[in-house]
Amino acid sequence: MSSFSEVDDDQLFADLLARRGRDEPIGAHAGELLSRWRRPAFFVIRRIQQSYRRGGPDDDEELFQEAACKLIERGLDQFRGYVASNDAEGGEEQRRPASGKTFFLRIVKHTAIDHYRRHREELAHASADGEEPEITQPEADQATLRARRANERDEAQELYWAAYARLKAEHPNEAIAWDAYHHQDMDDHDAVAAKLGITVTNSYKRISRAQAHLRLYLLELRDGPPAAAPAADAAVVAPARGAKNR
């Protein structure tokens, strides 16, 4: 939501908790935060799928929504703003700050673990009773393959956003133009130029330079600093328009 564009996750989560404490509506705040946390939540889910060799992309949304419900219905009331751990030397409990995002991703993780553990136990019980399993081995193999491919896509996305963060730090003008064209709902270079107050020619130039920088950054993240000039065919694939770097 545009009204939250300048508010970081921690402040927005703190505002949500305050509104909850005053019994005020929290839908807009929760919706914005869940939108920001969707991509890392899916990454956690796919890691669990890979570990259990179960599930696939079709499960992602269902598990995400289940975790979101747990956060709203119970999690917010249980959040204390810290994570407790034992001091290995003195045996005393230590507390360190925990963000709302970290708290939610832990809910996502345990929701996915419970789901696939429950499914595994159901399969084991069915096998012990002499019943046919709910899925065949080829179906399980296909689900594992889908989860692996989804995980590879997520890792590629992580590399992209790391490269984009470097672009913002080192070439902010190019990053702004790239963001407008690829991450926001800009139709063409005319729209980008109008938004940024530059000429269409400058829009082309900034986005072209941004692509060249990102290509180099991605190669360095993937393979390390190149010994020679980067290959000309290194691809830069931005997320679908509308996706935001949170």
pLDDT digits (tens, 9 = 90+) for 30-44: 999 999 999 999 999
Q: Out of 64-73, 169-178, 220-229, 237-246, which region has the weakest mean confidence (pLDDT)?
A: 237-246
Mean pLDDT of 113-141: 63
**In the structure, what pLDDT confidence band is assigned to residue 53 with cuts at 50, 70 and 90?**
confident
Closest C-alpha to 76, from 117, 15, 28 = 15
Q: What is the SS3 string spanning the chain?
A: CHHHCCCCHHHHHHHHHHHHHCCCCCHHHHHHHHHHHHHHHHHHHHHHHHHHCCCCHHHHHHHHHHHHHHHHHHHHHHCCCEEEEECCCCCCEEEEECCHHHHHHHHHHHHHHHHHHHHHHHHHHHHHCCCCCCCCHHHHHHHHHHHHHHHHHHHHHHHHHHHHHHHHHHCHHHHHHHHHHHHCCCCCHHHHHHHHCCCHHHHHHHHHHHHHHHHHHHHHHHHCCCCCCCCCCCCCCCCCCCCCCC
Q: Which two tokens stand for residue 66?
A: 């289940």
Q: Is 111 left (phi over 0), alpha (psi -120 to 50) or beta?
A: alpha
Place of tokens 């003195």: 90
Both structure tokens of 203: 């829009």
Quick check: 181 and 192 in contact, CB under 8 A?
Answer: yes
pLDDT at 242: 44
CA distance 97 to 9: 14
Instruction: Provide the pLDDT confidence category of residue 2 given band limits of 50, 70 and 90.
Output: very low
| pLDDT score of 246 more than 50 | no
pLDDT for 232 equals 46
CATH for the stretch 155-246: 1.10.10
User: Mean pLDDT across the chain, nearest whole number?
Assistant: 78
For position 81, what pLDDT does the model report? Answer: 75
Name which residue leads in pLDDT, 9 or 221.
9
Strand 82-86 to 93-97 pairing: antiparallel
184-206 pLDDT, tens digit each: 766 578 888 888 999 989 988 99
Of 209, 202, 210, give the one whose Cα is nearest residue 160: 210
d(CA 80, CA 78): 6
Does 22 or 91 have the greater pLDDT score? 22
pLDDT band (50, 70, 90) for residue 84: low
pTM over 0.85: no
Q: Please report the pLDDT score of residue 86 as a whole number.
A: 54
pLDDT at 63: 93
Sequence ranges of the domains in the chain: 1-134, 155-246
What pLDDT, on the 0 to 100 scale, is given for residue 179?
A: 86
